[in-house]
Homo-oligomer: A and B are copies of this chain.
Amino acid sequence: MKNAISPIRKDNYPEWYLQVIKNAGLAENSPVRGCMVIKPWGYSIWENIQRILDRRFKDTGHENAYFPLLIPLSFLQKEAEHVEGFAKECAVVTHHRLEADGEGRLLPSGKLDEPLIVRPTSETIIGEAYSRWVQSYRDLPILINQWANVMRWEMRPRLFLRTSEFLWQEGHTAHASQDEAETETRKMLDIYEEFVRDYLAIPVVKGEKTPEERFPGAVNTYTVEAMMQDLKALQMGTSHFLGQNFSKSSGIRFKNMAGEDEYAWTTSWGVSTRLIGGMIMSHSDDDGLVLPPMIAPKQVVLLPLIRKSEERAKIMDYCRGIMQLLSEKTFGGEKVRVFIDDRDIGGGDRFWSNVKRGVPVRLEVGSREMDAGTITVGTRDKPAGQRTVEPKDKVIDEIADVLSNIHSSLFNRAKELREHNTHTISTVDELKKYFSASGKSGFAICYSDPYEHSASREAILKELKVSARCIPFGMQDEEGECIFTGKKVRTKVIYARAY
């Protein structure tokens, strides 16, 4: 049987990824290099992500606010590592108007005294505000989140995964003690893990980034890492403990309870539209997008099968009745999102269009089903051709279970893939073999000392095109030999090829 997406995964994974996006109508490249247009179907996945995370942030005491898009160059320079990390990918505003030259061509005019950077992240501009807001320990903690667009100029953009402009949330908090800031950093990482697991149906490894992979300016960066179907790693979200680095460079100082001056302890944490890329690469198949039900813009599509025009009114009425009953059911604490697709296109096209855009449950209803009191059911976690005929009432009554099973089936499949492709590696030779020319590999767990610089380790990783994904939590108990240096260490690191 021919697949709906060409090429299929095993023939050309990167191109398959782009074709899934195109066929689902999620997003497209814009004429502005590296910037994407997020189309309604893709944007409504983002709206769901926003709604759910926003609720979690507010439940944990955070408020939203909004800070300027443009950051003065001098602000970015206040933290040396920070500006170094972002200097190569900054969109720079240098003029504030356009003026016609002698030949009527419009040119930039009104040169600014100081260049302004389109925010790549907002630590420095938010730090400036906090430095004014915080005077006493009574002003702390500040727990603020911002939903915003950011810009990091990409030379090799890729829809959702790596775009010059992307949408994200960035939490920025300031605390009176190191302990409280560290707790916040870990709490937000846990929220990311739960969200990715419970809504995107993706298992993650939680851990600490190695020094080389830390956010520029952070004392510690924590990450949730997932494995895609091509066995590469994708960083799904990060949470940074910034220590006093940014509070010192921004001057966020407060009088503590003893009346002494102290610098605040700050954190930042973010997830972006990249999550959508991770969701696509985790679950989609050779017939297109597969949406985890919790995040799907629509969870159930009703496909009326109208063979003669005189049947139309009757079948449509019948479908509307089913829709009504289904939309009163709840799944995951929200009403089931159901719609009828009666677009005036061929039945086959309508069927495949809903497969390709990943609607979790397809219910086909024609005169045969109507007469028999049944519905032909297909779920997106199974091959498109695999359908079962079920009693109508059963389908309606059990819709939440069906959706829940799809979620579990997607999660378990992703988890099995990861487990099958995670290996403990004990020598550099093994590591080289593991990341051999075939390109297929996975996660390599190795004893390694990530805190000590090793030129040979860096050279080996570079040669293999592999990077340290994280120092995973909960694996740092026994002692072993660092595969690069032979030194006794207690730290394990996951190495992988990554997006």
Residues of A at the B interface (CB closer than 8 Å) are 28, 30-32, 35-40, 43-44, 46-47, 63-73, 75, 77, 83, 87-99, 106-108, 110, 115-118, 125, 128-129, 138, 144, 148-149, 151, 153, 165, 167, 344
Task: Pick the most buried of A30, A128, A344: most chain B CB atoms within 10 A of its CB.
Answer: A30
Chain B residues whose CB sits within 8 angstroms of the CB of A90 once the complex forms = 95-98
Whether the Cβ atoms of A87 and B99 lie closer than 8 Å is: yes
Chain B residues whose CB sits within 8 angstroms of the CB of A31 once the complex forms = 72, 75, 125, 128
Whether the Cβ atoms of A97 and B88 lie closer than 8 Å is: yes
Whether the Cβ atoms of B129 and A106 lie closer than 8 Å is: no
Whether the Cβ atoms of B151 and A69 lie closer than 8 Å is: yes
Known contacts A73-B106, A87-B106, A88-B97; A65/B39 CB under 8 A: yes
Whether the Cβ atoms of B36 and A68 lie closer than 8 Å is: yes
Whether the Cβ atoms of B63 and A44 lie closer than 8 Å is: yes
Report the 9 A-B pairs with minimum CB-CB distance, sorted nearest first.
A35-B68, A40-B63, A38-B66, A87-B98, A92-B95, A92-B108, A96-B153, A94-B94, A32-B68
Which single member of B69, B71, B98, B344 contacts A118 (CB below 8 Å)? B69
Whether the Cβ atoms of A98 and B69 lie closer than 8 Å is: no
Chain B residues whose CB sits within 8 angstroms of the CB of A70 once the complex forms = 32, 35, 91, 151, 165
Known contacts A96-B89, A98-B92; A47/B64 CB under 8 A: yes
Chain B residues whose CB sits within 8 angstroms of the CB of A73 once the complex forms = 98, 106
Known contacts A66-B37, A99-B87, A149-B149; A71/B32 CB under 8 A: yes
Whether the Cβ atoms of A44 and B66 lie closer than 8 Å is: no
Q: How far is the CB of A134 from chain B (nearest CB, A)?
A: 13
Per the bound structure, the CA–CA distance linking A115 and B111 in Å amounts to 13
Chain B residues whose CB sits within 8 angstroms of the CB of A344 once the complex forms = 138
Chain B residues whose CB sits within 8 angstroms of the CB of A37 once the complex forms = 65-68, 129
Which single member of B72, B77, B151 contacts A32 (CB below 8 Å)? B72
Q: How far is the CB of A47 from chain B (nearest CB, A)?
A: 7
Name the residue on B nearest A95 (C-beta). Answer: B92
Which single member of B32, B77, B138 contacts A106 (CB below 8 Å)? B77
Q: How far is the CB of A368 from chain B (nearest CB, A)?
A: 29
Chain B residues whose CB sits within 8 angstroms of the CB of A47 once the complex forms = 64
Whether the Cβ atoms of B30 and A68 lie closer than 8 Å is: yes
Task: Pick the most buried of A73, A95, A96, A153: most chain B CB atoms within 10 A of its CB.
Answer: A96
Whether the Cβ atoms of A93 and B96 lie closer than 8 Å is: no
Known contacts A92-B95, A94-B92; A116/B40 CB under 8 A: no
Q: How far is the CB of A160 from chain B (nearest CB, A)?
A: 12
Per the bound structure, the CA–CA distance linking A327 and B66 in Å amounts to 28
Per the bound structure, the CA–CA distance linking A95 and B153 in Å amounts to 10
Task: Pick the most buried of A65, A98, A117, A344: most chain B CB atoms within 10 A of its CB.
Answer: A98
Name the residue on B nearest A113 (C-beta). Answer: B33
Name the residue on B nearest A117 (C-beta). Answer: B98
Q: How far is the CB of A178 from chain B (nearest CB, A)?
A: 24
Q: How far is the CB of A443 from chain B (nearest CB, A)?
A: 33
Chain B residues whose CB sits within 8 angstroms of the CB of A46 once the complex forms = 66
Which single member of B32, B40, B93 contacts A91 (CB below 8 Å)? B93
Q: How far is the CB of A344 from chain B (nearest CB, A)?
A: 7
Q: How far is the CB of A215 from chain B (nearest CB, A)?
A: 18
Per the bound structure, the CA–CA distance linking A144 and B37 in Å amounts to 12
Known contacts A87-B98, A93-B93, A97-B88; A129/B40 CB under 8 A: no
Chain B residues whose CB sits within 8 angstroms of the CB of A83 once the complex forms = 98, 106
Chain B residues whose CB sits within 8 angstroms of the CB of A75 once the complex forms = 31
Whether the Cβ atoms of A165 and B68 lie closer than 8 Å is: yes
Per the bound structure, the CA–CA distance linking A128 and B47 in Å amounts to 24
Per the bound structure, the CA–CA distance linking A387 and B283 in Å amounts to 60
Q: How far is the CB of A31 from chain B (nearest CB, A)?
A: 6
Per the bound structure, the CA–CA distance linking A46 and B146 in Å amounts to 13
Q: Could you write out 22 A-B pairs with CB less than 8 Å apart?
A: A30-B125, A31-B75, A32-B125, A35-B69, A38-B65, A39-B65, A40-B65, A43-B63, A43-B64, A66-B167, A69-B149, A87-B97, A87-B106, A89-B97, A90-B97, A90-B98, A91-B96, A91-B116, A92-B93, A92-B94, A118-B118, A149-B149
